[in-house]
Amino acid sequence: MKKLVIHGGRRLSGEVTIGGAKNSTVALIPAAILSEDPVHFDGMPDILDVYNLQLILESMNVSSTFQDGQLMIDPTQIVEAELPSTAIKSLRASYYFMGSLLGRFGRATVTFPGGDNIGPRPIDQHIKGFEALGATVTEANDTIHIVAENGLKGAHIFLDMVSVGATMNIILAAVHAEGVTVIENAAKEPEIIDLATFLNNMGAKIRGVGTDTIRITGVEHLGSETTHTTIPDRIEAGTYLSLAAAQGDGVLVKNVIPEHLEAFISKMIEMGVELDVREDSIYVPKSDKLKPITIKTAPYPSFATDLQQPITPLLGTIPGTSAIHETIYPERTRHVPELNKLGMDISTEEEGIIEINPSHELHGTEVAAEEIRAGASLVIAGLMADGVTEVTNAEHVLRGYDRLIHKLTMLNADIQIEDDF
Ligand SMILES: CC(=O)N[C@H]1[C@@H](OP(=O)(O)OP(=O)(O)OC[C@H]2O[C@@H](n3ccc(=O)[nH]c3=O)[C@H](O)[C@@H]2O)O[C@H](CO)[C@@H](O)[C@@H]1O
Ligand SMILES: C=C(OP(=O)(O)O)C(=O)O
């Protein structure tokens, strides 16, 4: 295991460039096995999730190389194989191999995915989608078997709740299904548009992404020699915007699509951060005299659940009580006791309601990153705190934050990574 060691209290300034979106990347890599040609990606983030997905590809005889954001995947020699359960368990999004293997071979056997503990994360809507397409799904020994004996047939699927994963998984399975599949109440996240753009450029017929009705007309072949550039990570961007407002003396966050962050940006402006939103970057000046706000997380385009923890240390600098209503994962509060150890004053008396009171002084201590965004909030609080903060379980953070140490160091932070025995 690794830990992050932060000597906090330094003011941050300069520029940071956002990497490719983790939540696109982790769908694009499984999607690559649907191609009949080698696939090239650009702007891929250097995160642990990518390396674990490469291990899963390798087990299927799919070779890949990854350097400087360029990822090449060659699925031309793919074979059906048992997938490595340690890698599958290391991230949530390994469940996209259910959809892509089903699309490619008409069957898939995948261990239940792992990933961060942020409360219950059922996949009933994914399964409902596969079944609607004509597959039989059975579960045994922590493994899901999905078989479409008579091939996949287009279907009309109404999702009971808006799910990013189910929307993407159904798209992956349906691109080769016979006929038309319609997904109603689909998720509208930008990462879904990114996945559909990649697949459409290979010959898929996916229409309506970004709205709540997606229509997929099955095609027989997918493949292309063009390079797909991943969209910037809006959650990483929001994390640096929060950090800059809390501890910065002027930070320019580059490679951002501001339209993907509208709910987040409007909340920052509402609290009084004088953001300068440019075409593909956002400047955050030194911020003071901020006002408390209330936030409600909900599916895109509303405020993202993945940004509620990163914004929390900033809310603690404001005189007055701010509140977050976490509607997607009401139990996603594992950062709260750890932030309180650093001196924050946060309460969660009612499930799903997080109240942040002003914290007077933060002091470094040892805290544990229980999940990726909890870890991000601890890194931000550690950079604000006096003294030394050690964030253990750093893998949770590194699985989704591109070149974290380098980027923070360039902003004048004092942060190292060490082995934690
Ligand atoms: C790899 C990836 O993209 N991860 C993101 C994705 O996760 P993920 O795709 O797993 O999250 P979903 O959008 O599916 O989940 C949304 C809500 O629906 C519920 N649900 C979902 C599927 C299902 O079959 N049954 C069910 O009840 C979930 O418990 C949750 O309450 O969206 C989440 C919500 O924006 C983000 O926090 C994650 O960062
Ligand atoms: C919960 C998250 O990711 P995952 O779905 O990969 O666990 C996240 O990115 O905040």
Average pLDDT over residues 197-201: 98
Q: Which ranges of 190-275 does DSSP label H, i.e. alpha helix?
A: 190-201, 234-247, 262-271
Q: Is 92 helix (H, G, I), strand (E, B) or coil?
A: helix
The pLDDT confidence band at residue 371, using thresholds 50, 70 and 90, is: very high
Range(s) of the chain covered by CATH 3.65.10.10 = 2-19+232-419, 22-229
Q: Ligand 2 centroid vs 361 CA: distance in angstroms?
A: 30
Closest ligand (CA of 305): 1
pLDDT exceeds cutoff 80 at 116: no
Write down the H helix ranges in 305-394.
308-315, 335-341, 372-384
From the list 49, 116, 194, 402, the catalytic residue is 116
pLDDT number for residue 378: 98
Residues 176 and 218 sit within 8 Å (Cβ to Cβ): yes
Q: Does domain 22-229 have CATH number 3.65.10.10?
A: yes
Of 95, 164, 397, the residue with max ligand 1 atoms within 8 A of its CB, to mutate for a pocket test, comes to: 164
Is 317 a residue whose pLDDT tops 90? yes
The Cβ-side half-sphere exposure at 43, using a 13 Å CA radius, reads: 18
Q: One-letter amino acid identity for 148?
A: A
**Averaged pLDDT for residues 329-351:** 96
Active site residue 386: no
For residues 97 and 366, give the distance between their C-alpha atoms in angstroms, rounded to a whole number: 37
- pLDDT-derived band at 313 (thresholds 50, 70, 90) equals very high
Share of the chain above pLDDT 70, in %: 100
Pocket of ligand 1 (CB under 6 A): 23, 26, 92-93, 120-126, 161, 163-166, 187, 305-306, 328-329
23 annotated to bind ligand: yes
Structure confidence at residue 118 (pLDDT): 81
Residue 114 has pLDDT above 90, yes or no: no
Residues 6+ apart with CB under 8 A from 361: 343, 386
118 C-beta closer than 6 A to ligand 2: yes
Mean pLDDT of 217-243: 96
Architecture of domain 2-19+232-419: Alpha-beta prism (3.65)
252-304 confidence digits (pLDDT tens): 999 999 999 999 999 999 999 999 999 999 999 999 899 999 999 999 999 99
Residue 373 confidence class, pLDDT cut points 50, 70, 90:
very high
Sheet holding 366-368, edge to edge: 366-368, 388-392, 2-7, 414-419
Answer for the pair 344, 356: CB distance below 8 angstroms, yes or no.
yes
Q: What separation in Å is there between the alpha carbon of 348 and the centre of ligand 1?
A: 22
| ipTM rounded to 2 decimals | 0.99
- For a ligand 1 pocket test, name from 121, 183, 307 the mutation site with the most ligand atoms within 8 angstroms of its C-beta: 121
Note the pLDDT tens digit of each residue in 29-77.
999 999 999 999 999 999 999 999 999 999 999 999 999 999 999 999 9
Report pLDDT for 117: 77
Atom of ligand 2 nearest to the CA of 116: 7
Asked whether the whole model's pTM tops 0.80, one would answer yes
Which one of the ligands is nearest to 163 CA? 1
Percent of the chain with pLDDT over 90: 93
Handedness of CA 130, 132, 135, 137 (dihedral sign): positive
**What pLDDT, on the 0 to 100 scale, is given for residue 56?**
97
